[in-house]
Structure 1
Amino acid sequence: MGLIERLKNEILIADGAMGTLLYSYGIDFGYEELNVTNPSIIERIHRDYLEAGADIIQTNTYSANAIKLARYGLENDVKKINNAAVSIAKKSISSSEQYVIGTLGGIRGIRKNSASMDEISAAFTKQLDILLEGNLDGFLLETYYDFEELTNVLKIARSMTDLPIIAQVSMHEPGFLQNGLPLNSALEQLEILGADVIGVNCHLGPYHTCQAFDQVTLPKKAFLSAYPNASLLDVVDERIVYKSTADYFGKLAVELRNQGVRLIGGCCGTTPDHIAAVKKALKGLLPITEKEVEHPRESILIEDHAPTPPSLVEKVKKQRSVIVELDTTKHLETTTFFKGAKSLQEAGIDALTMADNSLASPRISNMAMATLLQTNHNIRPLVHITCRDRNIIGLQSHLMGLHALGIHDILAITGDPSKIGDFPGATSVYDVSSTELLQLIKQLNEGISFSGKPLKTKTNFTVAAAFNPNVRLLDRAVKRLERKIKAGADYFISQPVFSIEKIEEMYEATKHLSTPIYIGILPLTSSRNAEFLHNEVPGIQLSEEILMRMKAWEHDKVQAEREGIKIAKELIDVAARKFNGIYLITPFLRYHLTTELVTYIHDLDATITKGDANDVQSISH
């Protein structure tokens, strides 16, 4: 009898973790390679689970796809590793009432950009095609945090086979996927797409897994499954451990049965002892056929009605907008910083923007200074956030804090690597890319946390992204802009530009975009400053003409500074007729330079004739 036929009248027991046992044996490398190099240890684990009472075991193929095997240089061994896994598993069973299912694991986690959907589809199709040759009893799609990925591969699997398919999502928070979709809605979609068994696995222990099923209705045709972790994980003496006892796991298995689950196994931290406890706890129990779900009241999404001025995007789409970067200090003397901010405000800037530890050197928190600027001086702050210094937890916490403080203008950037800064041995985090951070911030704007949990109110961030035009192939840089627009970028702020030709090239390359761009202008202060920027700072290039003009005043600091201002004004003359947004970068807290340039821009606007203004793309740029 097939496993689906048995699930109609029975509760079936699946196996537990493979990696946990291998890890306990001191093995901490690619587990799937063991199918070829040490098949006896894999067979031993399969037999241990079967002897513990498992009706179903899964092949040791969770990560046996080309993408994940490439981490170990094994991408060309997909067929060999999967074939070996099937052979070992089938050799382990001793009864027609024991089943072998082929496992295909998720690839994406919180990071969507870890692999494209085309790459995932190709890797999945190749692995499934190989597993289909093994005459298995079904397939398990497990540990899918990204629902788009799971629905995509489920469609592929259903088109390739009529064998039973178990499709399982993974959650960061009980009851919600990381995109905010309620678990019940996700499972209903999986059933519609043809999954025979639908459920959850990994990350959550048995308690929170039971909690997640509180709001899950019984499927119309499919059956429910659950493979919880043994517990929340802990780290003891630098080793991962799980606290849950087997008896506790068995007790909670009964709770899962009461929620309507008919296929129960284990994920991380579970062992044959846990499966034996499940078998013992469920002995004699039949699956439930009716379940009443008391749906909670819809979570009230509290709108934030705090008054906010018109966004920078709204202004720059219609008229001139000037923002100025004034970096916070590397020391605790802040008088000059606030004096400069006040001077720039009086000159007529729209926002003061502050980097997030630029060049990987620690400065006073831009979040703290932004709060003081906004509260004490009524200056609009635009805060940079890098992916370098905070993990995914810190990023969400930081953003929630900014929202609570009423700071809503953000530039999301990757951030300079730590090794170029004051502490070259410090760790660069980079849990996400700047493009992924854009997507996550927009998710907060929908009232959904990074983990998918409701925030109970929506943030209202306006998010800028960086644009580096100082590259050999500008069209590729523009393609990156288009990807960032798709991810949610509201406008762009460019790296400083030092060439009139580059500004004109940028205009031609981006005039098809409706997303505004602020053109970066950085006044040079000396010949040494120009040489440093050109030769050592990533993303900045100066023309030979600019370098020579600054070198002419190599021994005259005053005239060198005036030449730097003159060059900046020449660039502004062109940029102001092509783009509405101007972004001035203040060098070394010399705010008198950018104050002069702000005044120059406003005076220039007053002299631009109506005919000249026709050149300005007031909507596009």
Structure 2
Amino acid sequence: MKQHILTALGERVVVADGAMGSLLFDRGVDSSSCYDVLNLTDPALVQSIHKAYADAGAEIIETNTFGANRVKLGRFDLAHRTREINLRGAELARGQAGPGRWVAGAMGPLGRLGIDPLSQEELEDIFGGQALALVEGGVDFIMLETFASLSLLLTALRGVKAVVSVPVAAQMVFTQRGRTHSGRTARECFDALIWAGADVVGLNCGIGPKNALEVVQGLGPVPVPLSVLPNAGFPESSGDRLIYASSPEYFARRTAACAAHGARLLGGCCGTAPEHIAALVRALDAGSSEARIVSVSPDEVNTQTAAPTRLSRRLAEGKVILVELDPPKHLDVEPVLAAAEALSAAGVDAITIAENPLAVPRLSNIVLAGMVRARTGVDVVVHMTGRDRNLVGMQSTIMGLAASNLHNVLAVTGDPPSAGSAERVSGVYDLRSLELMALLAGFNEGRNHYGDSMRLPVNFCIGGAFNPNTRNMALQVGRMEKKMTAGARYFLTQPVYSRERVDEILAATAHITAPIVLGIMPLASSRNAEFLHNEFPGIEIPSETRERMARAGEHGQEEGVNIAWELLEYAWPHFAGVYIIPPFNRHVMALELMRRLGR
């Protein structure tokens, strides 16, 4: 009679199978299709892969249900078949496992969840519902795998544990540095998972067997069985395929060596095939021993503190004047540089440069920032959005800013691309404003997202945006508080056009200790006022102001400056400064306001 899986893992190493998705792709399944529905549409194909792993010596067969939750299935209009797909997946695996093997119900994360977040209860219900169907189909335990987020894995664990009584394995994805993408160590993750009730903890995907072995070597004793299911290595692209060059023997040798450091459930993930599992079984049967490979410790963090920027000092000492200039939509930068020279001569404290506002492509604001600083010597605030870069590109850009001595950054989420664009343009949004601020704050502490030392000190002056033109001011103030916790040192507001709104800001932010710089965008014309009011996000212009601009006619620019000055004169004593946003880069409007302020 087959042992309980936890009893077996307490006595010896148990071998699981390898990848499912890459084998389905190799057998002709389109990578953009839903692999999980093959349990219903092509069960013979799924069974053939299960059988190949069983023939290779795998003792645990995983179900073809990694993405069979109702969120992911919903993207294929299959959410209504969630239970059916999971039931059938469990039955197919059980049919090929036979009486002497275990079946693991594979469950993965939910993928990108979109704009509207799900509550913890909804998330737990999604994971719990999938687990119920898998257990009903006959799995011996649940394997939560390929989770990059510890918080989501803990949520999944709670949801599953609440509805089923079978054991649950919880597996994280780690980077080559042995940490999660948020910087947590394997030890931290496993301790949290064990405390939450995981019966098995471990790692899969993300890294190859060499890095997996290094993670295991640094763990120390783990009070529950440890699982290790690495990739075959790191892939290279060949057309539309990912090719894993490492041999089954290399994979088996390194993976088997994890057993000497406490691993009890061994198998494979991306790029592994029945050949890899067969080699792993042979290596374990032969008592393969791998010399201990000592991980190279990260460099010690340089604790020296970089000097604060001039803008940071000015914010602490007195009032500031910031003026925004937009990069051109072409290659002629001379008008912007000439404007920057005039503003610098007039005594501006910093020039801010937006990054592709309204998701329209412009000259790189970072390149332009370097040119402005080289031409004028004035401080420059670089806007960074989460829209245009993934996590890797963002860290590379931040290192470039630090190396270029561009240390003033306004961290924002970024305007979304137009949904009606003829071209397919999508925002990345790996990081939104809060996460971007936390990332910059981590660099200030000498480390990147993965915990790697930056070796040289940096001191980013991190700014945040505040939108007071909203019906729910309290919500926006709450976001300010979260941004301060994430690392924001000051705030620039969206443009304001009324004294009433100024008073509302002052009342709502009386407890905010970070400097708040009021946004003022002078109006250029009646047409400009109507566009901003009706079409520009986060801007509301009173009807009286729009009527004044309409009456001004061809003198709209002069009237726009007058209106801006009236509001600025009223607000100036109560804020840390002014953030002037001249429309269409008409810097002369900013110069006139600066003149009236006495600069």
- Classify the TM-score, shorter chain: 0.7 to 0.9
Following the alignment from structure 2 to structure 1, what is the Cα–Cα distance between the partners of residues 334 and 92?
A: 72
The structure 2 residue matched to 1:272, chosen from 271, 274, 278, is 274
Q: Would you say 1:150 and 2:153 are equivalent positions?
A: yes
Query: Where do residues 459-498 of structure 1 align in structure 2 (5 Å cutoff)?
Result: 459-471=458-470, 473-485=472-484, 487-498=486-497
Instruction: Give distance in 2, aligned partners of 1:548 and 1:266.
Output: 69
3-state DSSP of counterpart to 2:171: strand
The verdict on how the C-alpha distance between 1:438 and 1:102 changes in structure 2, with shifts beyond 3 A counting, is same
Contact 2:170 2:201 in 1 (8 A): yes
List per-residue Cα deviations over 1:566-606 (Å, max 9, x = no partner): 10012213332443332111233332221221233358xxx
Aligned counterparts of 2:220 and 2:179: Cα–Cα separation in 1: 15
Equivalent residues of 1:344, 1:591 under 8 A apart:
yes
Asked if 1 retains the 8 angstrom alpha-carbon contact of 2:301 and 2:446, the reply is yes
Q: Give the TM-score, by structure 1 length.
A: 0.85
Query: Residue 11 of structure 2 aligns to a residue in which SS?
Result: coil
Letter of the structure 1 residue corresponding to residue 248 of structure 2: A
Question: What does residue range 348-359 of structure 1 map to in structure 2 within 5 Å?
Answer: 348-359=347-358
**Alpha carbons of structure 1 residues 113 and 459: separation in structure 2 relative to 1, 3 Å:** farther
- For 2:56, the equivalent position in structure 1 comes to 52
Spell out, residue by residue over 1:246-302, the C-alpha distance to the aligned partner (whole angstroms, 9 max, x if none).
3332333333334443221111122222212222222242899xx989686674111
**Residue 541 of structure 1: aligned partner:** 540
Contact 1:361–1:423 (8 Å) recurs in 2: no
Distance 1:403 1:108 in 2: 32
Instruction: Go from structure 1 to structure 2 and tell me whether the alpha carbon gap of 1:156 and 1:388 turns closer, same or farther (over 3 Å shift).
Output: closer
**Unmatched 5+ stretches in structure 2:** none
Partner of 2:66, secondary structure, is: coil
Distance, in Å, in 2 between the alignment partners of 1:552 and 1:426 is: 40
Q: How does 1:288-307 map to 2 (within 5 A)?
A: 299-307=299-307
The aligned residue for residue 91 of structure 2 is: 87
Partner of 2:588: 592
Equivalence for 1:560? 556
Aligned partner (choices 165, 168, 178) of residue 165 of structure 1: 168
5 Å matches for 1:153-552?
Answer: 153-154=156-157, 157=160, 163-219=166-222, 221-285=223-287, 299-309=299-309, 312=312, 316=315, 319-375=318-374, 377-419=376-418, 428-456=427-455, 459-471=458-470, 473-485=472-484, 487-552=486-551
- Deviation string for 1:92-128 (max 9, x for gaps)? 22233x1112222233689999755444333223333
Gap regions ≥5 residues in structure 1: 604-621
One-letter amino acid matched to 1:59: T
Structure-2 separation of matches of 1:167 and 1:424: 41
Tell me the distance in 1 between the aligned counterparts of 2:498 and 2:522: 13
Q: What is the CA–CA distance in structure 2 between the aligned matches of 1:281 and 1:514, rounded to whole Å? A: 62
CA distance 1:412–1:298, change in 2 (3 Å): closer
Q: Could you tell me whether the CA contact under 8 Å between 1:412 and 1:434 is conserved in 2?
A: yes
Aligned CA RMSD, in angstroms, stands at: 3.4
How much does 1:16 deviate? Answer: 1.0
* Structure 1 position 487, deviation (Å): 4.3
Does the Cα contact within 8 Å between 2:463 and 2:491 map onto a contact in 1? yes
Number of residues of Structure 1 aligned to a counterpart in Structure 2: 595
Match of 2:128 in 1: 125
1:421 Cα deviation after fit: 12
Distance 1:445 1:121 in 2: 36
Q: Secondary structure at the match of 2:393?
A: helix
Q: Do the aligned residues in 1 keep the contact of 2:311 with 2:350 (CA within 8 Å)?
A: no
For residue 13 of structure 1, what is the aligned residue in structure 2? 15
Conservation of the 8 A alpha-carbon contact between 1:108 and 1:144: no
Q: Post-superposition shift, 1:78?
A: 3.1
Cα deviations by residue, 1:302-359 (Å, 9 ceiling, x for unpaired): 13433224664x7557743322112234455545434433443344433211111334
For 2:360 and 2:86, how far apart are their aligned partners in 1? 48
Contact 2:446 2:456 in 1 (8 A): yes
Structure number with higher relative contact order (C-alpha < 8 Å, ≥ 6 residues apart): 1
Cα distance in 2, alignment partners of residues 37 and 538 from structure 1: 46
1-side partners of 2:102 and 2:289: how far apart? 19
Instruction: Check conservation: 2:327, 2:363, Cα contact below 8 A.
Output: yes
Separation in 2 of the partners of 1:203 and 1:489?
A: 32
Cα 1:292–1:239 change in 2 (3 A) is: closer
Shift of 1:526: 2.6
1:67 and 1:361, CA in 2 relative to 1: closer, same or farther beyond 3 A? closer
Quick one: distance in 1 between partners of 2:397 and 2:448?
Answer: 12
Residue type at the aligned position of 2:589: L
Structure 1 vs Structure 2: percent identity of aligned residues? 36
Structure 1 residues 342 and 576: alpha-carbon distance in aligned structure 2, compared to 1, 3 A threshold = same
Whichever residue aligns with residue 128 of structure 2, its letter is T
In the alignment, the residues of structure 2 paired with residue 375 and residue 453 of structure 1 have an alpha-carbon distance, to the nearest angstrom, of 31
Structure-1 separation of matches of 2:131 and 2:498: 54
CA contact (8 A) 1:16 1:270 kept: yes
1:8 counterpart SS class:
helix
Once residues 114 and 435 of structure 2 are traced to their aligned partners in structure 1, the CA distance between those partners, rounded to angstroms, is 7
Contact kept in structure 1, 2:323 and 2:579, CA below 8 Å:
yes
Distance 2:441 2:258 in 1: 35
2:253 touches 2:288 (CA, 8 Å); kept in 1? no
Equivalent residues of 2:209, 2:231 under 8 A apart: yes
Amino acid at match of 2:78: L
Which residue in 2 is equivalent to 1:67? 71
Q: TM-score, normalised by structure 2?
A: 0.88
